[in-house]
Chains A and B, each alone.
Chain A
């Protein structure tokens, strides 16, 4: 998360620098009295690098996708109750369990 955020900030800074270079290029064109047809190639490359950085940040920073299937492995509850040490199954109630099952069946 921290890494993605840093990359995003770097990307935004690269875009800012590209904008500043374009402003300088335009003032140069104004001095040379030429028409603006598009930013120079290095600015275009800079914009591309900035876009890639920001895209990487946009895909990593907001978080991971979570599975929506209720029975997938990620959504299973695997924690046990905390009093599991105090649970006893080997007691006299075991003798009645078959009768309880009979009752439930009827």
Chain B
């Protein structure tokens, strides 16, 4: 009897191993991680826009500044994930690219806003 139970549990283990080989993810936790990334990126693009406006950047330099801020953010998020991206996300693009263009819109908005307040009025 005990042997039979041991056999069944080991076969269960084998089937779960096969499932993890198929790259199953906890979708709920993945969604929550994506939300964390989205919040961080949006907040930092707003702050970056305000700083670019105060520094008085014009034209292309502002966009270069945005790329710099986003690169630093990606590095910081990677550090927050303890450099093991694949235990928190399915692909690298989640950390490196998601929310990039949405952040660019808020960056430009706050860049022009801060520039107008500090340098024009």
Main DSSP-derived SS at the B contact region:
helix
Minimum C-beta distance from B100 to chain A (A) = 15
Complex Cα spacing A39 to B50, Å: 14
Complex Cα spacing A67 to B40, Å: 18
Main DSSP-derived SS at the A contact region:
helix
Instruction: Tell me which residues across on chain A come within 8 A of B5, comparing CB atoms.
Output: 101
A36 in the interface (beta carbon within 8 A): yes
Known contacts A47-B54, A50-B51: does B25 contact A59 (CB below 8 Å)?
no
Q: Which bracket fits the contact residues of A?
A: 35 or more
Q: Contacts A51-B47, A55-B47, A70-B19 given; 13 further ones with Cβ under 8 A? A: A12-B47, A47-B51, A54-B43, A55-B73, A58-B43, A62-B40, A65-B80, A65-B88, A66-B32, A70-B25, A71-B20, A75-B29, A101-B5
Q: Could you give, for residues 34-45 of chain A, a 1 whenever the CB lies within 8 Å of some chain B CB and a 0 otherwise?
A: 001011000110
Instruction: Tell me which residues across on chain B come within 8 A of A66, comparing CB atoms.
Output: 26, 29, 32-33, 88
Q: Which bracket fits the contact residues of B?
A: 35 or more
Q: Which residues of A contact B (CB under 8 A)?
A: 8, 11-12, 15, 18-19, 22-23, 26, 36, 38-39, 43-44, 47, 50-51, 54-55, 57-59, 61-72, 75, 97-98, 101, 105
